Amino acid sequence: MKLIVVGDTLVSSETLIDAAKDINFPGKTGDLEIKTFEWFSDLKKEQFQEKILEIEKNGPEKVAIPDGIIEEMKDADYVLVHIAPISKKMLEAATKLKLIGTCRGGLEHIALDTMKEKNIKLIHVIRNAEPVADFTLGLMFTETRNIARAHYEIKKGNWRKSFSNDEYKTVLTNHTVGLIGLGYIGKLVAKRLNALGVKVIAYDPFIDKTKIAAEGLRIDFLDFDEVIKQSDILSLHMRLTPETENMINKDVINNMKPNSYIINTARAGVLNKNDLIDALKNKRIAGAALDVSWVEPIEENDPLLDLDNITLTTHIAGDTVDAIPRAPYLLKNVLNDYFETGTSDMLIKFK
């Protein structure tokens, strides 16, 4: 049985191999043959961020793949990666490939259409789901209660106590939070909101509602339009796909309450930038908080910077000291559970 491991600057091949040694691959007899590759593992973290942005923007077909990996893919049974590309060419070369395991937030690095065509399983462990869920909740407090704006004004020498959302300010439990997308992160956000006594509504056409109920989560499932209309805080947790790109646009925003907020810790592309700016300028909604940007770093003349009803952070929702080092071991646990039970919330269901 053959496993390919591709390390990078953030998740080393050594860590992936260490985790792989304890994975109970089906049909494994004897020693596991492991072929190791590196994807820009020699870069410093700051330089590697440029590679991450490149693959997130352009996908796996537009970036370099490790030398020699095509040949090794031909008889590989499994592949484990963090953010290294899994391109169409790599997948087309594979004749025995059963499953790919990846441990990062998005799936922009994988040729998903080819995965579907070849019926190759994909296990996707979001290594920083807990940090992102915490951060999402933090943005809800920060935006609705003007925490960052008050701090910013103090630093400028102003003792500001009045803000653009003054007529809407209230405690979180008076808000209804609508979640668009109820994957792993969305469920963790819902769990936190449940604990705080906040009403949660959600839209996700692919979720098994009976499983959500069995997990003890209190969520009212509504159709998309109703979630938009009823939410005081709309929190986005869907993957960026051709179907979800610009999903939250002018037509959607115009159906939101004037006292409502948009929180985005998913991907910038699910939200139409110009429509959001127009809505915030004209106070059609109360505010927004974004940890993702259409261009990183945000440009100096970006019109978002002129708005007084938005909170911006630098794509740091998942950035904690323990999230990345734990990633391969989370993947190991999920894979073992999947191989034992034949099912997993982390198994990607292709449309």
Is 82 an active-site residue? no
Is 299 an active-site residue? no
Q: d(Cα 73, Cα 245) in Å, to the nearest integer?
A: 32
Phi, psi dihedrals of residue 177, rounded to the nearest 5°: -100, 125
CB 331 within 8 A of CB 123: yes
Residue of 92, 267, 300, 340 marked catalytic:
267
Cα 130 to Cα 17, 104, 189, 332, distances in angstroms: 24, 12, 9, 17
Residues 6+ apart with CB under 8 A from 257: 229, 231, 232, 285
Q: d(Cα 17, Cα 35) in Å, to the nearest integer?
A: 10
Residue of 145, 226, 296, 326 marked catalytic:
296
Residues 6+ apart with CB under 8 A from 204: 179, 180, 181, 182, 183, 186, 221, 238
Q: d(Cα 16, Cα 331) in Å, to the nearest integer?
A: 9
CB 133 within 8 A of CB 177: no
Is 267 an active-site residue? yes
Residue positions annotated with a catalytic role: 267, 296, 315
